[in-house]
Amino acid sequence: MEYAFSKYHGLGNDFIFMEDFGGKLLPEGEELARLLCHRHFGIGADGLVLITKEAGLFTMRIFNADGSEAEMCGNAVRCMAHYLLDQALAEGPALRIGTLAGVKEIVASGGLYRVDMGEPDLEGPLSLAASGREWICHPVSMGNPHAVVFVDDVDEVNLAMWGPTLENHPVWPQKANIEFVQVVSANRLKVRVWERGAGPTLACGTGACAAAVVSIREGFVQSPVEVVLPGGELTIEWSAGNHVSMSGPATKVFAGRIDLEALKGGR
């Protein structure tokens, strides 16, 4: 049986969207994500989003390319807002989307999507030993776990080595997204992200929020903060005690149909 899908990206962080209002695909989410997200044998993406409908609310269930389910994804929720408007499933400019990290409110305006990301859960810095080196990591949750690491030059970081090393450190029971952050100016950060379950991505919305709020708390920058990622820029606004706001684009790439049984048979 063929299923319709659409592919979107937020600053190059790309996702496959499939409607699953009856909940038929959700039990297979882990397997489908590994198959569909494969860059050579599937459609190719950083994650699979199954759009469910719970108590009348469209809900984002997102699975990373390795099959693990994430609680929240800032780029994906912007793309889902774009999808719902494209398909006339919702009316703008204000939308509400359910996630495992709670309901997110999004406002579409001028080709950008502004997301209320909720309040961050900040902890004090940790000194972690990994592969013979000490790292100062700043834990923060944006509904999913992050660790912010400040460096002098993000381009000099061996992301393929240190990303998975810190992601899988025993201090994070559910693993963590790792943000390597370079302070450029009082309102600008340069960030490279190693995403839990996906590896290096061109952008990470929750990671940009994590990097910004820790940088603001440490006094390195002031809100609003322009976060420069390999795929483009996001604007993050936050002051202590308030919700984090993230603004950025979402882009449709293409749509099609795929035979899931044939895909499974080609493993």
Instruction: Report the C-alpha gap between 125 and 142 in whole angstroms.
Output: 16
Instruction: Report the C-alpha gap between 79 and 115 in whole angstroms.
Output: 11
Helix crossing, 74-86 with 205-217: angle to 10°? 130
Tabulate helix, strand, coil % of the chain (nearest 5).
Answer: 20, 45, 35
- Choosing from 37, 137, 204, 209, the catalytic residue is 204
**Environment class of 251 (CB within 10 Å of its CB; exposed 0-12, middle 13-18, buried 19+):** middle
- Residue 129, strand partner residues: 134
Q: In whole angstroms, what separates CA 262 from the centre of its chain?
A: 29
Instruction: Report the C-alpha gap between 60 and 42 in whole angstroms.
Output: 21
Torsion of CA 255, 107, 110, 247, to 10 degrees: -90
- Choosing from 73, 79, 137, 209, the catalytic residue is 73
- Is 79 marked active-site? no
Length of the chain: 267
Q: What letter represents residue 110's amino acid?
A: G
Q: In whole angstroms, what separates CA 242 from the centre of its chain?
A: 21
- Is 73 marked active-site? yes
Q: Is 90 left (phi over 0), alpha (psi -120 to 50) or beta?
A: beta
Active-site residues, by number, are 73, 204
